[in-house]
Amino acid sequence: MVAIGKVKVSQLIERFGSPLYVYDEDILRDRIKILKKSIGYPNKQILYACKSNTNPSIMKVFREEGAWIDAVSPWEVEIAFKAGYQSHEILYTGDNVTDEEMKYCLDKNIQQNLGSLSQIERYGKMNPHSHICIRINPDCGAGHHGHTITGGPESKFGIYFDKIDKIKSLASKYDLKIVGIHSHIGSGILEVDEFIKAIDIILGAAQHFKTLEFIDFGGGIGIPYRPRDHGIDIAHFGQRISQRFSQFCKEYGRNLSLYLEPGRFLVGESGTLLVTVNNIKETPTHKFAGTNSGFNHLIRPMTYGSYHEIVNCSNPEGTPHKIAVSGNICESGDVFTQNGKGIEDQSIPEIREGDILGILNAGAYGFSMASNYNTRPRPAEVMVRDGQARLIRRRETFDDLTQTLV
């Protein structure tokens, strides 16, 4: 990779500095178009799960492509407003939601998705005679790592699918009209069958609610991180969901709206974290290329043992060597090349001090999970398209890090 969106990597670093998050706008637009096209069912809505990346410039791109927003905190809602979304284009799916958060959403006129019986009771007292959506736990989950599985008995999310009677009696106690059923079983799923298994259970639950307007099957669509990974067959995914949903609507007697709320699939592959190598050293077991970034900027390898392909943008034709790529944070886990069990060297064209490396597929849960650990600022973010680059978030400064101190 010597260029992103037809802009040379060396020019990006010269102009915006290093480390740097770079997003390819064409990939953002392409992914949402592909997903929409795959779903033949006409009455559909994509909600971008902005927890994966809340840069308003990225959120604006998805709005231009017709997306709405899945938000999980009042601050995500505020960012969505900043990116131009209207109240009716936002679904609020918080977890362990406080009364203050529910009040905030009511004030802003935002549809709430309720994930516990306690929440229905509290919401009902606060706002009887209104419309609600219910998050169901369908008793099964899936995901690329245990921490990202959000369905099944080990998961804290949603109301278990066997509690339908309790949901209904609480709803009738407060005259709440259940207009939506929601479920999200996990993140990073590459098998269509995993989705269909959950969808069948959700639709089984949905038939007990007679006032529905939409059903939201959540996000979770995976992307191929390793070169050997197969991506999800998105055409097959869309076709199976459409078919199942159309059949349900026929039996239900009305054509409901079909919602999906992906994050990773829309934004993951568009993002590259560019870092600079400043140190090369060897131990008896590994050669390390040390860089000016770390898990404070991309925590996925350390948290989930996630693989991110790394390329040498400065020496793409060099002879490949096995090497570990590490960061500048004071913890041994600060290695970009690991697999959850330990360090996993990657074969990368010869790395020299001063080289720029591209850590690929870093658009989702990259910047949005970044921190200031070791009191280091977070990188700038840049969007590229057709040979043009524009800054979409400036690099943090020392003042940014200290402005909340009293």
Ligand X SMILES: Cc1ncc(COP(=O)(O)O)c(C=O)c1O
To which H or E segment does residue 357 belong?
Answer: strand 356-359
Q: Which stretch binds ligand X (CB under 6 A): 6-14, 219-227, 319-327, 380-388?
A: 219-227
184 binds ligand X (CB under 6 A): yes
5 binds ligand X (CB under 6 A): no
SS3 98: coil
CA 219 to the chain's CA centroid: 8
Rank residues 218 and 294 by Cβ distance to ligand X and give the closer one.
218
CA 321 to each of CA 93, 299, 357, 359: distance values in angstroms, whole numbers, following the listed order: 46, 24, 14, 17
> Is the torsion defined by CA of 127, 129, 131, 132 positive or negative?
positive
CA 369 to each of CA 20, 64, 239, 302, 373: distance values in angstroms, whole numbers, following the listed order: 15, 25, 33, 12, 12
* Among positions 94, 138, 180, 219, the unique one binding ligand X when judged by CB under 6 A: 219
Spot the catalytic one: 105, 133, 313, 330.
330
Contact set for ligand X, span 354-383 (CB under 6 A): 364
For residues 91 and 111, the answer to whether their CB atoms sit within 8 Å is: yes
Percent helix, strand and coil across the chain, each rounded to 5? 35, 25, 40
Contact set for ligand X, span 12-71 (CB under 6 A): 49, 51-52, 70
Q: Which stretch binds ligand X (CB under 6 A): 101-109, 260-268, 315-323, 344-352?
A: 260-268
Q: Please give the size of the binding site for ligand X, defined by CB under 6 A.
A: 19
The tokens for 13 are 């670093």
Q: Is 140 assigned a catalytic role?
A: no
Rank residues 142 and 313 by Cβ distance to ligand X and give the closer one.
142
* Among positions 261, 269, 334, 381, the unique one binding ligand X when judged by CB under 6 A: 261
Rank residues 137 and 338 by Cβ distance to ligand X and give the closer one.
137
Rank residues 218 and 327 by Cβ distance to ligand X and give the closer one.
218
116 binds ligand X (CB under 6 A): no
77 binds ligand X (CB under 6 A): no
CB atoms within 10 A of CB 233: 14
* Among positions 93, 291, 328, 361, the unique one binding ligand X when judged by CB under 6 A: 93
- Rounded to a whole number of angstroms, the minimum distance from the CB of residue 170 to ligand X is 21
- Rounded to a whole number of angstroms, the minimum distance from the CB of residue 16 to ligand X is 26
Peptide bond into 284 cis (omega under 30): no
> Is the torsion defined by CA of 195, 196, 202, 207 positive or negative?
positive
- Rounded to a whole number of angstroms, the minimum distance from the CB of residue 189 to ligand X is 8
215 binds ligand X (CB under 6 A): no
| One-letter amino acid for residue 206 of the chain | A
270 binds ligand X (CB under 6 A): no
385 binds ligand X (CB under 6 A): no
337 binds ligand X (CB under 6 A): no
**CA angle, residues 270, 271, 274, in degrees to nearest 5:** 145
User: What's the rounded Cα separation, in Å, for the pair 228 and 346?
Assistant: 13
Rank residues 184 and 376 by Cβ distance to ligand X and give the closer one.
184
* Among positions 141, 262, 290, 358, the unique one binding ligand X when judged by CB under 6 A: 262
For residues 275 and 291, the answer to whether their CB atoms sit within 8 Å is: yes
263 binds ligand X (CB under 6 A): yes
Residues in contact with ligand X by the rule CB under 6 A: 49, 51-52, 70, 93, 150, 184, 187-188, 218-221, 261-265, 364
As annotated, the active-site residues are 330
